[in-house]
Structure 1
């Protein structure tokens, strides 16, 4: 289990996270929803070691990670598919995927995992020798998720996987998220498409200006009148 306790993060004089308490149980899909600037991406970046908190605790299976370097956090089993995809445009699809496995020591099983990625995303297999920068937005998102999965994570963190994608592609991405979870990978999802996120999630949190203001099951928050009005465009 990933457990975050009283986490505070600031950028200069701006408090981005204010005492976050959050749990991600093994095998579940947990989602964070909230407006732009609420602190969702900052939280994921803090967990992955890209941003160092002022105070608080980030524990995975009771092991403190808050001051661990990024590579050690990855080796412990946390992978991030970042907002904006950030694929390596001048490398091939295959090369991008293999970068995801760079820190792995179980070299003999990497090919098996590569085949699993290709089963999840057949388009990537078709384009394995194509430069990543020539892929469509949806294909780049598939590649970003596949690259993160190649580290064989316990927890896969997804930052805005549906951003800028056509509705049919969004539907496909969420189907894949559920399929990955069925294979035993825990998911921590940040997503502005609140409707899809809450329908997919076992557990959901609402962030506003760096604080968690609501939490519950995905179904509970989907039916919450305040959430419906603020994030789903539906009146109470």
Structure 2
């Protein structure tokens, strides 16, 4: 479905990605874990065209997209929920969701998807006319995820969805990620919360200073001593 082959990226004067290769099979959850500055966010930005690879290949359904415009990549079915939520604070919940569907013309299906988002996040339905900037951090994350779903993505990428959230909200967000995947959407997840990320993942990759150092089945990586020591705080 999505394949990165030997991708290198220079970002802000740093060799941020150094020959990164990742496979995201259709219908799976793939998690990318690593410390701050490892290159996780840069990987997602390179996929959606926000940064350009210096070398290597990014292909989507077998077609090269590394030179495509971000708007065209989104129209092809790849969507990124960025780190930090990035909701439009002066717009209502409903208006933020409407912007998520800006490129769609199937109005009746958009309405169905909006109801699906409200079913996934009942709290958003309760705050439908509330300005996004007045929502709690957890509610803003729900809105950011919902806005991304309004594009009806084939590949849903999330950058640090649990960052700064209370444990109960984190648990709910990961349950929603599972539910989104069960409904048929492929997920690529970037997370510092290695345990939660690998717990839900079919496949996982460990990124360190711009290079993939480990890869494998999510549960197997969770049991790997190197991962447990470096990312789970175990000795």
Q: TM-score range by the shorter chain?
A: over 0.9
- Per-residue deviation at 1:136? 0.2
Counterpart Cα distance in 2 of 1:105 and 1:23:
31
Partner of 2:16: helix, strand, or coil?
strand
Q: Indicate the residue corresponding to 2:167 in structure 1.
A: 167
TM-score w.r.t. the length of structure 2 is 0.99
Q: Indicate the residue corresponding to 1:29 in structure 2.
A: 29
- Per-residue deviation at 1:106? 2.1
Task: List gaps (5 residues or longer) in structure 2.
Answer: none
**CA offsets 1:99-132 (integer angstroms, 9 cap, x no match):** 0100113222100000000000001111010000
1:145 is the counterpart of 2:138 = no
Tell me, yes or no, if the aligned pair for 2:29 and 2:201 is still in contact at 8 Å. Answer: yes
Counterpart Cα distance in 2 of 1:171 and 1:36:
22
Q: Indicate the residue corresponding to 1:67 in structure 2.
A: 67
Counterpart Cα distance in 1 of 2:130 and 2:110:
20
Counterpart Cα distance in 2 of 1:14 and 1:132:
34
Alignment of 1:132-211 (within 5 A): 132-211=132-211
Question: More displaced, 27-36 or 4-13?
Answer: 4-13
4+ residue stretches of structure 1 with deviation over 3 A?
Answer: none
**CA offsets 1:164-197 (integer angstroms, 9 cap, x no match):** 0000110000000000000000000000110111
Task: Give the aligned length.
Answer: 235
Q: Indicate the residue corresponding to 2:56 in structure 1.
A: 56
Counterpart Cα distance in 1 of 2:124 and 2:52:
34
TM-aligned CA distance change 1:12 to 1:127, over 3 Å: closer
Q: Indicate the residue corresponding to 2:85 in structure 1.
A: 85
Q: Indicate the residue corresponding to 1:120 in structure 2.
A: 120
Counterpart Cα distance in 1 of 2:12 and 2:132:
35
**CA offsets 1:113-154 (integer angstroms, 9 cap, x no match):** 000000000011110100000000000000000000100000
Question: More displaced, 122-131 or 5-14?
Answer: 5-14
Counterpart Cα distance in 2 of 1:37 and 1:45:
14
Counterpart Cα distance in 2 of 1:146 and 1:52:
27
Counterpart Cα distance in 2 of 1:231 and 1:91:
38
Counterpart Cα distance in 2 of 1:58 and 1:152:
21
Tell me, yes or no, if the aligned pair for 2:178 and 2:200 is still in contact at 8 Å. Answer: yes
Partner of 2:21: helix, strand, or coil?
strand
